[in-house]
Structure 1
Amino acid sequence: MKPTSLFVLSIVFFLSGNTIVEACNFHIINKCPYPIWPANAANDGHPVLASGGFYLPPGEQRKIQAPADWVGRIWARTGCKFGSDKVPACETGDCGGKLCCNGLIGAPPATLVQIALQPDKSKPSFYDVSLVDGYNVPVSVTTIPYSTKCHIGGCKRDINDCCPQELEVLNDKGEVVACKSACLAFDNDKFCCRNAYGAPSKCKPTVYSKIFKDACPSYYSYAYDNPPPLVNCPSDDYLITFCPSPRVSQVESA
């Protein structure tokens, strides 16, 4: 699963023959000291969840339902002010100025959780966190029950605090609210791993991707990050936490 591109409870009902009906739930937690607006966009052929976005105050969590074979991305929007015609309405991750993204992909840079669920529980589901388009907030992903091999941790430090000036995204107050990837900032083949650099042997880490990797070692720092920080765990239950503690414990994840 090449990077592009919530506590899950799967209820399985056996009907006639080999027919299986499955329903899943995602639990999303906001541990940031400010509100966020989680959003999602599904891959082609998969439904949008919870109208694509909602408000989540600090310390709160929300459960949303998904099919057991759902494939898509989840991210957090920050600094949103809805209720006017202003576009973008959010400082980061905006989707056309709308509260409910309804399938629209958020504007980069934004930290992306990418998920490909597997309805056959004898096979693993895949998930990762990508900074290929940049960063806005840290996030962790883990299974329920907790397993160290199924855990994607948060960041050692906030990339916004160490973002090179040429990659910074500033809000109206002059505060750094996101950090672009070098690809997004410069639109250069070398940084974007395309054309002559469109292979792992040709596209190598850069000074910019290394800043991302040092701060968030469990995330994709660029398209051909190696070894791939991709997790494959055959679990029914997942937990996504925005702004987790630097070291998310089993207790915090439960």
Structure 2
Amino acid sequence: MKFPIFVSAISVISFFWHSLLSGNIAAAEQVTFYVHNKCPFPIWPATAPNTGNPVIADGGFYLPSSRTKRISAPPGWSGRIWARTGCNFNSNWKPACETGDCDGQLACNGHIGTPPATLVQVSLQAGGTKPNFYDVSLVDGYNIPVSVTTRSVSPKCTVRGCTKNVNSICPSELQVVNGQGEVVACKSACLAFNLDKFCCQNEYGTPNTCKPSLYSKLFKDACPCYYSYAYDSPPPLISCTSNEYIITFCPATWGSEPTAETGHTSS
């Protein structure tokens, strides 16, 4: 009569180990992003998932200068990561941030930020052995520079930062100016003028008909590793296999390769 009890105990133990191993496998498949702030001012990084994907890192957080925040994404996640600047969440005024604001909230909770903002676009592949895809886009404009690389730094897996401060060379018709008269962001021509020839839509909706403009060439000259407009060619899309990436806002030397140093990390 004790045999069924023994079988039941074995079943419980088997279930326990299966659950434990499944959890470990799921954790191992998670992709980690080390979001590093090398700007001489605080930023408020934000995330927004593509449709059907979960919100990660609560959609946004505070990151002081010289600090790093470790965030995780599940296998197959896709979405965007950007930095907000000049934020004040202690006010009832909206927007709360000078750039990249998401409805005046610290946690964007899936909401896309208000352009212009430099966007890190990510598409992770499920399984852990397939390459992940990522790029940096100025299609909607620029606020601060960013670099992306695998934690084991490899030149072919690196999106370098900018060689110039785009805000300092931004044409007046593209400038976003704060209350102190400082240029805090630079719109893309599409965002500023909403014309088909700049937005690559309608009769300009193919690579053959949508060509670089003087404005996108300015972006490309300053940030050669970024998408400067929708049909930038060759596409500055990176494809690398890793489960750890470093995203650095305001890289120490703009245009140089980022390092694996991650500063003071908080979870």
Q: Which amino acid aligns with 1:103?
A: G
Q: In terms of mean alpha carbon deviation, does 180-189 or 113-122 score higher? A: 113-122
Read off the aligned partner of 1:200 and give its amino acid letter: P
The aligned runs of 1:100-179 (5 Å cut-off) are 100-179=107-186
Read off the aligned partner of 1:46 and give its amino acid letter: N
RMSD: 1.7
Residues in 1 aligned to 2:75 and 2:227: alpha-carbon distance in whole angstroms: 25
Aligned to 1:226: 233
* Aligned twin of 2:41: 34
Gaps of 5+ in 2: 1-19, 263-267
Other structure's SS at 1:134 match: coil
State the SS of the aligned residue for 2:247: strand
Cα displacement (A) at 1:122: 3.0
Partner of 1:246: 254
Q: Where do 1:63-74 residues align within 5 Å?
A: 63-74=70-81
Distance change in 2, residues 1:198/1:157 (3 Å): same
| 1:130-167 Cα deviation digits (max 9, x unpaired) | 00000000000001211000000000001000000000
Q: CA deviation at 1:14?
A: 5.9
211-220 or 232-241: bigger deviation: 232-241
Shift of 1:251: 3.9
Distance 1:101 1:72 in 2: 13
Contact 2:147/2:258 (8 A) holds in 1: no
The answer to whether the 8 Å contact 1:146/1:253 transfers is: no
| Of 78, 82, 86, the match for 2:85 | 78
Highest Rg: 1 or 2?
2
One-letter code aligned to 1:51:
D
| 1:87 aligned counterpart, secondary structure | coil
The separation in 1 between residues aligned to 2:115 and 2:232, in whole angstroms, is: 19
Stretches of structure 1 that go unaligned for 5 or more consecutive residues are: 1-12
SS at match of 1:64: strand
Q: Percent identity?
A: 62
Partner of 1:96: 103
Q: Distance in 1 between matches of 2:180 and 2:255?
A: 30
Would the aligned equivalents of 1:69 and 1:117 in 2 still touch at CA under 8 Å?
yes
What letter matches 2:78 in structure 1? V
Q: CA 1:24 to 1:197, structure 2 compared with 1: closer, same or farther past 3 Å?
A: same
Alignment of 1:161-200 (within 5 A): 161-200=168-207
Residues of 2 paired with 1:249 and 1:195: CA distance? 38
What amino acid is aligned across from residue 193 of structure 1 in structure 2?
Answer: C
Residues 46-57 of structure 1 mapped to structure 2, 5 A cutoff: 46-57=53-64
State the SS of the aligned residue for 1:135: coil
1:236 CA drift (Å): 1.4
Matches of 1:122 and 1:185, distance apart in 2: 41
User: Is 1:26–1:239's contact at 8 Å kept on the other side of the alignment?
Assistant: yes
Separation in 2, partners of 1:78, 1:117: 27
In structure 1, how many angstroms separate the alpha carbons of the residues matched to 2:231 and 2:207?
A: 6
State the shift of 1:118 in Å: 1.1
Report the Cα offset of residue 81 of structure 1: 0.7
In 1, distance between residues paired with 2:220 and 2:257? 21
Letter of the 1:198 counterpart: G
TM-score, normalised with respect to structure 2: 0.86
Bigger helix fraction: 2
Offset from partner CA, 1:95-131 (integer Å, 9 cap, x none): 0011111111000000000000112233211000000
- Tell me if structure 1 keeps the 8 A contact 2:160–2:258: no
- Would you say the 8 A contact 1:168–1:178 is kept in 2? yes
Asked whether the equivalents of residues 140 and 240 of structure 1 are also in contact (C-alpha less than 8 Å), the reply is yes
